[in-house]
Structure 1
Amino acid sequence: MRFIQTFQLYDFLDTLVSLLTAFVLGTVIGAERQYRQRSAGLRTNVLVAVGAAAFVDLANRLTGSEGSVRVIAYVVSGIGFLGAGTIMKEGMNVRGLNTAATLWASAAVGCCAGADMVAQAALLTLFVLGGNTLLRPLVNAIDRIPINEKSSEALYDVLVTVDGGAVAPVREFLLEKLEAANYPVRDTSVVHRSEEEAEITATLVSLSIEPDELDAVVASLTGLPGVRHVTWNVRALE
């Protein structure tokens, strides 16, 4: 058997250390994800780290450091496809970006372990855990800060609910008012809720706004015939 001829105990132990390192560090990262009930939890992060380590270690055994570099490049792109599967869009919200980024980082930990850079793999694991845990209070604090409409870069929607037969004149009046207020319109859409009711949405070009000016536009539309409800809101750029 060729295995008997090619087996080297030192190389085998070196591979064992690489895979064991990837397994332990992937477990540490995955445990935090599993605790928070993320879609890519303990087993996924472990498999990503161990798989990346195995590919890099195999390339290193066969072709040396040059082969490892090429394999690492393929691992980076391959994990990108895997991470894309965890990203979901629900209406205006996008979920799974942090999970995808964690998978990418787990692959980096595995690559370090496969390249026999155990200390670097452990250090990277600490940074990944810090990003997912220590920064959480800061994220929550920033999210609680009210949006300043004058300084924020976001998308602004003016929403008008009208009678089905009043769509055209109300839409034209809305565009005229926004143009007069120097707020260019990025897009308009009309959704017919029923034969008797429709909703007009005017999305403004992203720029800082004066809330009082949009409030004035809303007030001017309130008394128009066929207008049932008018409001405006702000949402983050995608």
Structure 2
Amino acid sequence: MTQVFVWRLLAAFACGVAIGIERQMRQRTAGLRTITLVASGACLFVSLGTLMGTGVTQIAAYVVSGVGFLGGGVIMREKGAIQGINTAATLWCSAAVGVLAGTGFYGAAIAGTIVVLGTNTVLRELSRAINAAPVGNADLIREYELTVVCREEDEVHIRAVLSNAMYAEPLSFQSLTSRDCEGEPPRLEVTATCRTHPKDQARLEHIASRISMEKGVSSVSWTAREVETTPE
């Protein structure tokens, strides 16, 4: 019985490490140690039920509830956007993997680990590609204009910074224009236009904050207006 327990705990530990390494590489709130502890802890609780001959299903249900409280601690609201939902979901799935390992379903635990890793890597790139695609058919879209006033000699640099920032977030980049400003000394107004869902507004604020620290920039502002979507 002890040997079986050790193998199950090692399996949960290995699966937790595999998931945790990917999270740690992306510098998430719940990284290598947290994910591994959740998977191992879930395995320990379920193994306790096996060793004592009590209901494993009931213990697994309590594990799910406990991890739910833990996941709630990593979800935060920042500048109108909710952060950490994916991390909380990863914690939840890690606990499920630990439960499977603790009950001796090694194949299912490994399959669950592969699914979690695939979701956090392959689907991450797919979601970024979808976010960068045209969003004319989305349910609620706003058009944002980010305006930067800078020196004439910094125009090329500011245009490059704006373009790179729009594509890096990513936002649905529409246009980039420049025009002269009245007054002395000579200044230019560089305007970038993008379309995105209001939930991504925090990304635009992040770009504006970053550009405001660029040399030669005297002001940064942005405006938003509703866009009529195409009827289905």
Shift of 1:136: 1.8
Q: Aligned partners of 2:223 and 2:48: how far apart in 1?
A: 63
2:107 corresponds to:
119
C-alpha distance after superposition, 1:151-182 (max 9, x if no partner)? 4223769xxxxxxxxxxxxxxxxxxxxxxxxx
Counterpart of 2:20, as a letter, is: G
Q: Aligned partners of 1:17 and 1:230: how far apart in 2?
A: 58
C-alpha distance after superposition, 1:123-148 (max 9, x if no partner)? 11000000001112211110102321
Runs of 5+ in structure 2 lacking a partner? 144-221, 228-232
User: Cα gap change, 1:230/1:21 in structure 2, threshold over 3 Å: closer, same or farther?
Assistant: closer
TM-score by length of 2: 0.61
Q: Say whether 1:82 aligns with 2:70.
A: yes
How many residue pairs were aligned?
A: 150
Larger Rg computed on CA atoms: 1
User: Cα gap change, 1:230/1:33 in structure 2, threshold over 3 Å: closer, same or farther?
Assistant: closer
Q: How does 1:26-41 map to 2 (within 5 A)?
A: 26-41=16-31
Question: What SS is found at the alignment partner of 1:103?
Answer: helix
Aligned CA RMSD, in angstroms, stands at 2.1
1:12 corresponds to:
2
Runs of 4+ in 1 over 3 A off after TM superposition: none
Counterpart of 1:15, as a letter, is: F
2:205 corresponds to:
none
Of 107, 114, 120 in structure 1, the residue corresponding to residue 95 of structure 2 is 107
Runs of 5+ in structure 1 lacking a partner? 1-10, 158-228
User: Cα gap change, 1:233/1:93 in structure 2, threshold over 3 Å: closer, same or farther?
Assistant: farther
Counterpart of 2:15, as a letter, is: L
Counterpart of 1:99, as a letter, is: T
Question: What SS is found at the alignment partner of 1:94?
Answer: strand
Q: Aligned partners of 1:102 and 1:93: how far apart in 2?
A: 19
What is the percentage of aligned positions where both structures have the same residue? Answer: 47
1:145 corresponds to:
133
User: Cα gap change, 1:54/1:231 in structure 2, threshold over 3 Å: closer, same or farther?
Assistant: closer
Counterpart of 2:18, as a letter, is: V
Of 208, 211, 225 in structure 2, the residue corresponding to residue 232 of structure 1 is 225
Q: Aligned partners of 1:231 and 1:73: how far apart in 2?
A: 46
Shift of 1:63: 2.5
Counterpart of 1:45, as a letter, is: I
Q: Aligned partners of 1:77 and 1:134: how far apart in 2?
A: 29
TM-score by length of 1: 0.59
User: Cα gap change, 1:124/1:230 in structure 2, threshold over 3 Å: closer, same or farther?
Assistant: closer
1:224 corresponds to:
none
2:41 corresponds to:
51
Question: What SS is found at the alignment partner of 2:37?
Answer: helix
